[in-house]
Amino acid sequence: MREFTTPAPAGPPASGGLADSLYDTAERTPGLVQLARRDGDDQEWRGVTAAAFRDEVLALAKGLLTRGVRYGDRVALMSRTRYEWTLFDYALWSVGAIPVPVYPTAAPEQVRWILAETQAVACLVEDEDHAMTVGAVCDALPDLTGIWQLDRGCVAAITEDGRGVPDSLVHRQRLGVAPGNIATVVYTSGTTGRPKGCLLTHANLAAAADAMLDGWGDVFQDTGGAQPSTLLFLPLAHVYGRLVQVAAVRGGFRIGHIPEVATEVLLPALASYRPTFLHVVPYVFDKIFQRARRAAEESGRGELFEQARQVAVEWAAAREQRALGHGPGPGPKLRLRHLAYERTVYQRLRAVLGGRVRGVMCGGSSLGRELGLFFTGIGLDLYEGYGLTETSAAITANPARRQKLGTVGRPVPGATVAIADDGEVWVRGPGVFDGYLNHPQCTAAALYDGWLGTGDLGSLDEDGYLTITGRKKDLIVTSSGKNLAPSSLEERVQAHPLVSQCLVVGDDRPYVAALITLDPAALAHWLKSHGREQLDPWAALADEELHAEIQRAVGAANTAVSRAESIRAFRLLPREFDVDQGLLTPSLKLRRAAITEYYGQDIEELYAP
């Protein structure tokens, strides 16, 4: 087993929980602007000082106590990314309670499972739709005693309830929190399709956040004198978003929230907030790149944009080689060409991000070397990383100013990465989780003597940079970072009598799609019953009514999953997968890699703009 370790400058926290850093910062620098928020339709950002945020957290924590939330209780948070999520996280941690994130797009059955398994005593929801989703399953949740709705003023109401509670009662509970206590239960998809709750401790998240600050603090601070600030648009139901939140609070950075990553919402927010660094998933950069290219083509500047793209990639690659000691860097001609495109192309692209962004960390799925080089070439300091829910997000990342784009970098401070004989990536470090809630056998299978088997395949180069090459199991990760196990979704589509086989795709893609084959006998029967027996069975694949029938099968399967996990497009194939093609095993199991290669063109067309 080959391994590589990055030493930690300091050990894990010896005492206290995540809420302590908030109170400590407010005590030391009460006037520091810790957060920024926008209320209602107001587009202006209002700064919230460390002291003001502490007071809001403390007041809400007192109200939570009056609502019956006790030390060790679990409270579900079902909302998009917004200021109030951070407020509730720190209020719950202040009383020793455990927030349980739930995706706001989760299906009722997923919500029921998470709330039942965690025995959540209350659920915070954002709006009426979320309230109805929880309400539809609450009969099966005997522990659930309250549903609190943000857009109906629950923050003010809970805060008012706690007005007479002494501050000391909250502090007594907060000071009883130890690093080894569970801080949150974050659910991640398993290969069986049933989500499992990862038990992350206060020490796990604190260590992961401190590793980020220790390894990349200088990058975040490189702001030309402005206060470091980031705009959080990653979902806080995802462990990456939570890590960014914790690191910003611990690092004293200013943080704002945006509930959507749709470009029509995100880009104006970036322009008004003007962050100095960002944490993104590849989906965001891909959308920005495609939008810029389309705009250039529509204005008749497509050729100029393509030339600027090539120069940016070449310039970034040459700079990368120089930083790693393998080359002289960009030559005079390349530097001049790069300078020529600075004002006409690159500066305008940076302006889309607010104009002040310098450092960018990217994770959640594979970015792709070409796209990474392009954004580096336009003037962004880009760092790609890798992690799992089980590792409290990032376990590797490209080190500061020594990036190898196309890799996911080296272990973060305090972590070790190893490659087993079968190519599986194993990791260990203070961010590795405590196990799966109520699943001791799964925990025992995943953890061995402090090591976590990731299920991913990879390789380490001579400098300790990790490259992910595949997955031992069939988990799909979309370009937005959403994990899903395809088998249960495929089985639901295959339940339709016309469907023979279904292969779900979506790795590093913006959404989930499917390749579907039809049963020949069932298709012939359907054609006859619909008066189309004159059609050749495979020529009938273009029939609109047949497509509508399969769309109903897909729609029925989608009801069991969230929108992010749902099949958005599908293609009917002219023949079934079989053993002779090499697309099935002798036991008739799908050979996923072989199928995706064989039907590569069909898959590309599913995602064509």
DSSP, residue by residue, 103-157: -TT--HHHHHHHHHHHT-SEEEESSHHHHHHHHTTGGG-TT--EEEEGGGTHHHH
| Pick from 231-245, 321-335, 470-484, 588-602: least confident | 470-484
Q: Is the pLDDT of residue 298 over 70?
A: yes
Give the Cβ contact number of residue 493 at 10 Å: 23
| Residue 204 is assigned to a structural domain of this protein | no
Alpha-carbon distance of 295 to 440, in angstroms, equals 53
| Residue 103 is assigned to a structural domain of this protein | yes
Q: What's the Cα-to-Cα distance from 229 to each of 33, 232, 245, 439, rounded to whole Å?
A: 10, 10, 11, 39
419 pairs with which residues across the strands? 2, 425
pLDDT for 189 equals: 58
Alpha carbon distance, N-terminus to C-terminus of the chain = 43
Looking at the fold, whether 289 and 240 belong to one and the same domain comes out as no
Among 260, 226, 266, 231, smallest CA distance to 245 is for 231
pLDDT for 588 equals: 61
Looking at the fold, whether 541 and 554 belong to one and the same domain comes out as yes
Looking at the fold, whether 78 and 111 belong to one and the same domain comes out as yes
Across 293-299, average pLDDT: 83
Give the Cβ contact number of residue 91 at 10 Å: 31
| Residue 250 is assigned to a structural domain of this protein | yes
Alpha-carbon distance of 293 to 276, in angstroms, equals 24
Please give the residue range of the domain that contains residue 424.
279-476
Look at 1 and 78; give whichever has higher pLDDT: 78
Q: What are the tens digits of pLDDT across the range 395-449?
A: 999 999 899 998 999 999 999 999 999 889 999 999 999 999 999 999 999 999 9
Mean pLDDT of the chain: 91
Q: Is the pLDDT of residue 177 over 60?
A: yes
| Pick from 250-254, 369-373, 501-505, 581-585: least confident | 581-585
Looking at the fold, whether 65 and 113 belong to one and the same domain comes out as yes
Q: Is the pLDDT of residue 233 over 90?
A: yes
Looking at the fold, whether 322 and 245 belong to one and the same domain comes out as no
Q: Is the pLDDT of residue 483 over 70?
A: yes
- Confidence at 586, pLDDT banded by 50, 70, 90: very low
Look at 314 and 363; give whichever has higher pLDDT: 314
Helices (H), 495-581: 520-529, 544-558
Across 258-267, average pLDDT: 87
Among 447, 453, 432, smallest CA distance to 204 is for 432
Contacts of 333 (CB under 8 A, 6+ apart): none
326, two tokens: 């393998």
| Residue 293 is assigned to a structural domain of this protein | yes
Look at 281 and 340; give whichever has higher pLDDT: 340
Tell which of 438, 456, 476 closes a domain.
476
Domain count, the chain: 3
Among 197, 237, 199, smallest CA distance to 114 is for 197
| Residue 494 is assigned to a structural domain of this protein | yes
CATH of the domain at 518: 3.30.300.30
Across 557-586, average pLDDT: 85
| Residue 129 is assigned to a structural domain of this protein | yes
Q: Are residues 570 and 513 in contact, defined by beta-carbon separation less than 8 angstroms?
A: yes
Q: Are residues 230 and 471 in contact, defined by beta-carbon separation less than 8 angstroms?
A: no
6, two tokens: 């990055």
- Confidence at 463, pLDDT banded by 50, 70, 90: very high
Looking at the fold, whether 168 and 259 belong to one and the same domain comes out as yes
* CA of residue 372 relative to chain centroid, distance: 18
CATH of the domain at 470: 3.40.50.12780
Across 454-482, average pLDDT: 85
Alpha-carbon distance of 576 to 207, in angstroms, equals 50
- Confidence at 191, pLDDT banded by 50, 70, 90: very low
Share above pLDDT 70 across residues of the chain, in percent, rounded to a whole number: 97
| Residue 185 is assigned to a structural domain of this protein | no
Across 390-394, average pLDDT: 95
Looking at the fold, whether 492 and 359 belong to one and the same domain comes out as no
Tell which of 420, 444, 476 closes a domain.
476
Tell which of 443, 476, 509 closes a domain.
476
Q: What's the Cα-to-Cα distance from 418 to each of 116, 434, 457, rounded to whole Å?
A: 36, 20, 11
pLDDT for 589 equals: 66
Looking at the fold, whether 56 and 152 belong to one and the same domain comes out as yes
Q: Is the pLDDT of residue 558 over 70?
A: yes
- The total number of residues shown for the chain amounts to 609
pLDDT for 587 equals: 44
Q: What are the tens digits of pLDDT across the range 139-160?
A: 999 999 999 999 999 999 999 9
Q: Are residues 3 and 417 in contact, defined by beta-carbon separation less than 8 angstroms?
A: yes
Looking at the fold, whether 369 and 344 belong to one and the same domain comes out as yes
Across 499-521, average pLDDT: 91
pLDDT for 534 equals: 74
| Residue 338 is assigned to a structural domain of this protein | yes
Across 54-78, average pLDDT: 98
Looking at the fold, whether 168 and 86 belong to one and the same domain comes out as yes
- Confidence at 188, pLDDT banded by 50, 70, 90: confident
Q: What are the tens digits of pLDDT across the range 99-130?
A: 999 988 888 888 999 999 999 999 999 999 99
Contacts of 267 (CB under 8 A, 6+ apart): 288, 352
Q: What are the tens digits of pLDDT across the range 518-554?
A: 988 788 878 888 887 777 777 788 888 999 999 999 9
Looking at the fold, whether 315 and 447 belong to one and the same domain comes out as yes
Q: Is the pLDDT of residue 497 over 50?
A: yes
Looking at the fold, whether 413 and 433 belong to one and the same domain comes out as yes
Q: Are residues 567 and 513 in contact, defined by beta-carbon separation less than 8 angstroms?
A: yes
Query: Quick one: which H or E segment has residue 518?
Result: strand 512-518
Report field, pTM of the whole predicted structure over 0.75: yes
| Pick from 18-27, 39-48, 175-184: least confident | 39-48
Q: Is the pLDDT of residue 190 over 60?
A: no
31, two tokens: 């006037």
Alpha-carbon distance of 378 to 542, in angstroms, equals 44
